[in-house]
Structure 1
Amino acid sequence: MRIALVTDAWEPQVNGVVRTLQSVRTVLEAQGHRVLVLSPDRFHSLPCPTYPEIRLAMAGTGRVGDLLADFAPDAIHLATEGPLCIAARRWCIRRHFPFTTAYHTQFPDYISARSGVPVDWVWRYIRWFHAPAEAVLASTASIRRTLNDHGLAKVRQWGRGVDLHHFHGDVTPNPTLAHLPRPLQLYVGRVAIEKNLEAFLQNQHPGTKIVVGDGPARPALEAKHPRAIFLGARFGEELASIYAAADVFVFPSRTDTFGLVMIEALACGTPVAAFPVTGPMDILTRGVGAMDERLEDSIAEALKKDRAACARYGAGFTWEASAAQFLGALAPIAAKRHAA
């Protein structure tokens, strides 16, 4: 199958959206499918206001359409709600080509947090963007209900997976962290306002707070919290060894749709502490994590969990299963339409 994947989020960005798309593409290509990725690196782009790490492609419908037409896809998936996918969406609608979309992030909450624009205004845009799709892919039951509540009915399940080659229960803990006061409390992800890192860094549970990742909020947070350890971005085996070294993984976000880092931590045997919100409520069970409106309480409870049970649970999330759901939700383009 020839699959066109259009996305405004791609390398060198480091986030759950990019990692999900990369991982699913790898599985699909290994299965023999051809995947075309149309991303901002193919076009002139500008930095996103307030978040320069994100590049906004200056992509016209004509140029995007030419690339899609040359590829002659059997199915088209629009992964994000940015300008590149808007151009592809317009091209598909003009030709009556079906397409699917995905709701990866709490876009209305993020835009509101960064700009002050009312959340309801942004939801109008979300409804407009996704309404023509044959299916809107969502990672959890909570997000499916949220989309349904906002007038989007054609929502399909698309779960997430773990790279079990790197993240598993037999990973050797990173020895450079062994000397730090315990328990080691770990956060992994973007260092940005929408991730609610202040809640993690200000919690009063004893131990050492470790932040892995980069983002626009890092300089200010690093200056404000000098006792916390900021390691920057880490990947692969090194990241797995940090997960394995931590006593608890703390997920302070209140706005994530899933939280890929939670299942990576669990696969390495590290229990998760979080708020009782979308994402954690869909993923965590009593045996592998804890949720409480007081983060200190969820950390204390998570520290009691069995690491072997966490690793077994995390190993149940595979990219093969995620890719199968993605493939099953695609809307094939009739062969006769390729000539349009």
Structure 2
Amino acid sequence: MASTTSFFLPVVLLVAAAAAPARSSPHPPPRCPPSDLHALLSVKQSLGNPATLSTWSPASGDCCKWDHVRCDEAGRVNNVFIDGADDVHGQIPSAVAGLTALMSLSLFRLPGLTGAIPPCLTALSNLQFLTISHTNVSGTIPESLVRLRILDSVDLSNNRLTGSIPNSFADLPNLRSLDLRHNQLTGSIPAGLVQGQFRSLILSYNQLTGPIPRDDAQDEINTVDLSHNRLTGDASHLFAPGRPIGKVDLSWNNLDFDLSKLVFPPELTYLDLSHNRIRGTVPASLARLSTLEKLDLSYNHLCGPLPKMHGVIRHGCKPYEHNQCLRGAPIETCHRL
């Protein structure tokens, strides 16, 4: 009898387990927790309660449904993008620091946005994409941004920023894109900034001086735009052998180097070296660039014959104008027109 009981005991236990009510799973975290909701409402108030942010209302408890806001799967605010609004006024609110899950912050085309870039942004340890562009934000670029170790892209273009470019930008291990164009930045380009890590480096339309730091890295950089500054010296190292690069704009500087022996990367699609003091002859490697769409070597001190190859002739006259003594086609044809 005891053996029969022991035989049926596992069956009884299994039936009982199946009949027992299922344990309720823990409730999922609420979308837009109170901390995110409070931070967004404080941001709106600090910006003058603009109509652009009219959907930001405590009456709607789920801020993930508001305009200019996105949330992650856990219901945390991870993206705030406010753009094209003339009714936004004030400084960048310190309440932004309360959005601790924020991965992307974009403040774009906001002429009423003023003041300095606040140090509180360094509390956003998850921030990967930072855009503060086409505003009236002024002051210096804070060195403290180096605390945002996973930054991938920084766009601070078209503002009123002054001072120098922080050396700390070169220490950000994941930074791949930096756009500081159209500001009033001075000083030199930090030594490590041109080395190794960038897909896109745009520092044009500032007041930067000194040489372009030497860089022999063979990285995957696509765009280097240092135009409209006061840079001097040799920039030929940007075209190091084996380095793929798509766009180079060094125009309107005071660069002085010999172009003759440069070997341009075959991936080059855009090259503007105009309005400098570049000397020598036009190298044959330029003629072999079948992918080159934009070329401008005008207003330099180039001399000698142009290579008699289609890659040179096909760009017409304008890229070679106002040099010292260039000759040959298409220059001769241009002079007869």
Q: Aligning the two structures, in what range does the TM-score lie when normalised by the shorter sequence? A: under 0.3
Whose Rg is larger? 2
The answer to which structure, 1 or 2, has the higher relative contact order (CA under 8 A, 6+ apart) is 1
The structure where strand makes up a greater share of residues is: 2
More helix by share: 1
Length-normalised TM-score, structure 2? 0.25
TM score, norm. by length of structure 1: 0.25
